[in-house]
Chains A and B, each alone.
Chain A
Amino acid sequence: MGRRKTSSDGGEMLQGTLDMLILRTVLLAPAHGHTIAHAIEQTSEDVLQVEHGSLYPALHRLEDRGLIASFWGTSENNRKAKYYRITTAGKKHLANERSRWDELVLAVARVLGPAME
């Protein structure tokens, strides 16, 4: 039933990269959805625009795969928020994806050659 499968998971981003970004964001400390969305935007200096809503299916999928875990906590604004932290499996996955990404970037760069003006 493919009628609803219209937008790809990462918006306009490459498939799988959003997962990597999320994992990287929660690597240092647990964070809730709002923080994660803004962190991705800010650290990429607003190059990567995430549709904030699309973050949630991705978060749930990652949780399903056991790469992150969630808990309810109180945020810096004193509001209830659902926090996500990275799991051991998530760290390993991130490392793998990271090296694969680096290889990909290198390979693409090699094919493109030096920048032409």
Chain B
Amino acid sequence: MSWRRFWQRKRRDDDLAREIESYLAHEADLLVSRGLHDDEAAWAAHRKLGNRTMVKEKVWEMNSLQLLESIWQDLRYAARLLRTNPGFFAVATISLALGIGANTAIFQLLDAVRLRMLPVENPQQLVELKIAPNDHCCNGNFVDRRPNFTSAQWEQIRSRQQAFSSIFAWGDEQFKLTQSGPARFAEGLWVTGDYFKTLGVKPLIGRLIDSSDDVPGCGSSGAVIGYSFWQQHYGGDSGVLGKTILLDGHPFNITGVTPPNFFGVEVGRSFDVVLPACAEPLVAGKEASNSLHRHYWWLAIIGRLKPGWTLSRAIAQVQTISPGVFENTVPEAYRPEQAKYYAKYRLTALSAGSGVSSLRNNYEQPLLLLLGIAGLVLLIACANLANLTLARASVREREMAVRLAIGAGRNRLMRQLLSESLLLTVCGTALGILIANAICRYMVKFLTTQRNPIYLALSPDWRLLGFTAAVAVLTCVLFGLTPAIRATRTAPAGAMKAAGRGLTADRERFSLRRALVVAQVAMSLVLLAGALLFVRSLHNLLTLHAGLQQNGLLIMGVDLSELHYPPERRAVVYRDLLDQVRATPGVDLAATANIVPISGSGWNEMIQIPGVKSQRDMIPWFNRVSTEYFRTVGTSLLAGRDFDRHDTVSSPEVAIVNQEFSRKFLDGANPIGRQILLVVGPGEPQHQYQIVGLVKDSKYQDLHEDFKPLVYVAQSQDKDPYQGINVLMRSAVGAGPLTAALTRAAAKADPGLSIAFQSFGAQVRDSLLRDRLMATLSAFFGFLAASLATVGLYGVISYMVARRRGEIGIRMALGATRGGVMRLILKEAAALLIGGLVLGTVLAIAASRAATTLLYGLKPTDPSTMVMAVGLLAFVAMFASVLPAHRASRTEPMAALREE
């Protein structure tokens, strides 16, 4: 039994045939020479040889790989059977493909976001440093996606740490590639000298940043670019080395390109350019530099453990250096009690072999939940298929009985039935992988926004392949094994006798199918209830009263940091800009704001209110806005006045607060006329505001939050405006036609301005990504589950009707009405449905707890949602059973009885 023989089988069979002919001829010769007649001799030779077929078969068996071949035979037989039943084949393959595809896709994302190790050298040795969580961490300005440390802390940590063979810090930034007008950006990283060395990344071409590039006060040094940026902007030309790239208006020499699979250490993100961290003050300017201020948090730190060091040993070491690190880096602007807390901070370390990610925090739980949902969908699909297979098996009952009776091996028969399931699974999996790819790409696209481009390494790995294979095998066993075992357990005699006869045959076999339907209904109720929860949660978010008129609001972000204007000049530019925008035809209202609501940005300050007992945490949130801001965004003024042109840098500072402010800090008293005092650190300018207006509550950072106490201060009273500002406009025209006119208006105010447009509605939609993802996908899965369960119920009821045709015929012959027959069938369906719904309600209530934190404005056990789900499913399912019931009631008694 060897492969060699197997492949040469045809030739060998011929060979044997000739050999046997040769034997017969020789034997006949011998016999003739002993005096026999020719034909007598031929017969005798045959007798002498024995059973020729047996000989051939034996040699043939020697030449074959029996197991493999009989499997191949089974598969071919299964394929033939499926070809004769394309409807079953299509339903089975598609439902399996959807189930397997959904599971694979979501696992693929989970794998990319959570499980995959970074594609760098020995990723398991990488460890991220953090400040151990405490109640007083941290104060200051937080600049990028991972603002864990300040530059001063990094210097201390680098010189004091002993646990790491090398260590680096990095921060991120969007660099502007354009100089004025509409802006284009590059995703950038600031890295310290040992970044690439620690990660063990080698350049694709040129050289990467090393410690010789990262010296304090370095000038406009070299830049490293990422592979895809190199491909897109330079067509992959190696002549790129030495070329100059302009980042935020500063020229940098390109010195190298990173390899294609390296995306940095942040999962879900990629980068276009990498600059040495020492060049940050040069690009940002001394005044705004993150590196030069002790209260600017902008770095994250990763180190590679020294050989033999464990994570716990590293944690112990960084804890012992903590006092030295923090006592030496207290920000100058801290008040004494802040400084006291600050000095008590402690460092800790976490394993970072799979990278760091903010995506992970946001999406790990939703993805796990979705994986659970997709798993349920697959289970339902399996139950459905098992049911269909059982139905088919009962049709083939007689065939099985006959084959068993004439001596077919039970195992052999089971294998044949299983190979049908196997074939379906293979087809379903193949199609499922295609679907998975599409779903995966769709989801990444769904999560990518203009401001948050998502990059995920989605190439298949062993984990994904293993997962898909395991899912496929499990599926095959789940829907194929039980029917196969059942089919071959038939007692031949019984089955042959019963076939066609008997009015209430096979109670037991049928009860399994009922149980499957009940389970399907229950599981799809869970999914439907979940889907409704997420859809309603999203609906709550979309329709909640945010205190703002979202429609028709357009945002123009303006940046003048590269123009290096003094503060007074900036104030003038902003005023001119607002005038120009207001004069633009099509713009109904316009105002400026430092912070765009619901954009995630925030600014808070500790305050005191003279005459009010000082509370421990009087920290309202702030925004700096121009006149007409409230009319522009659609927040109504309840009392007092708006800012006006009498509020200038020289007049007393005024503020407008919202209802929540007065509720929280003034027990709901009228705030107008009260004073607000900012609590500031040593050396910072004093601010005292008089409250002149009260506005309605509105959402500040995020739609999910409760209303926060807000203080608005006047743009016109700002002595030191930021280097950028947002212009908010209300227009009936829409963004498209306005952009050109607004670009011209901005250029009129100052030709050096750099601008970017966004619609407020789009920004709000982006902030609801997670909710939209959950609502969309769970609705899709819920719909799928309900459809599958409905098909399942329909199948079982139809089958039951077909089986009871004789009985129904007799009943009708004895005088049962059509209505009575219909009631009989519907009662059966209702029993299954109610069983499933009751079980499903219990399961749904138990399972819904997993969704608690992902819901807005409703509890996971929301009764009305549950009622809706039950009602919806009951309606659809009953509808599906009316059809076969109707068919039953149309039975012609004579025809039905004659069939017997």
Contacts and interface: CB of A to CB of B under 8 A. Distances in A.
B70 interface: yes
A4 B27 contact: no
A80 to B, nearest CB: 6
Given A56-B20, A75-B26, A77-B25, 5 more contacts: A4-B61, A61-B62, A64-B2, A77-B26, A82-B22
Chain B binding surface, main DSSP class: helix
A8 to B, nearest CB: 12
Interface string B30-59: 100000000000000000111110110111
A79 B45 CA distance: 16
Which among B23, B30, B67, B412 has the greatest number of chain A C-beta atoms within 10 A?
B23
A5 B161 CA distance: 75
B25 A79 contact: yes
Contacts of B67: 1
B19 A33 contact: yes
Interface in A37-81: 37-38, 51-54, 56-57, 60-61, 64, 75, 77, 79-81
Contacts of B22: 32-34, 75, 79-82
15 contacts: A1-B67, A3-B409, A4-B57, A32-B22, A33-B19, A33-B23, A53-B52, A53-B55, A56-B58, A57-B55, A57-B58, A75-B22, A75-B26, A79-B29, A82-B22
A41 to B, nearest CB: 10
B121 interface: no
Contacts of A53: 49-52, 54-55
B70 A80 contact: no
Given A52-B23, A57-B58, A82 B2 contact: no
Interface of A: 1, 3-4, 32-35, 37-38, 51-54, 56-57, 60-61, 64, 75, 77, 79-82
Contacts of B54: 53
A38 B70 CA distance: 38
Nearest to B63: A60
Interface size bucket, B side?
20 to 34
Nearest to B412: A1
A81 B20 CA distance: 9
Nearest to B66: A1
Contact of B15 (A37, A61, A82): A82
Nearest to B47: A52
- Among A35, A57, A61, the one with the most B-chain Cβ atoms within 10 Å of its Cβ is A57
Contact of A52 (B15, B18, B49, B70): B49
A56 B18 contact: no
Given A51-B50, A57-B58, A64-B5, A82 B18 contact: yes
B16 interface: yes
Interface of B: 2, 5, 15-16, 18-20, 22-23, 25-27, 29-30, 48-52, 54-55, 57-59, 61-62, 66-67, 70, 409, 412
B59 A56 contact: yes
A55 B412 CA distance: 31
With a 10 A CB-CB cut-off, give which of A38, A75, A81 has the most chain B CB atoms: A81
A82 B26 contact: no
Nearest to A2: B409
A34 B30 CA distance: 10
B410 to A, nearest CB: 13
B19 A56 contact: yes
Contacts of B50: 51-54
Contacts of A80: 18, 22
Given A3-B409, A52-B48, A56-B20, A79 B26 contact: yes
Nearest to B61: A4
Nearest to B21: A80
Contacts of B23: 32-34, 37, 52
Contact of A57 (B26, B59, B70): B59
Contacts of A34: 22-23, 26-27, 30
Nearest to A58: B58
Contacts of A64: 2, 5, 62
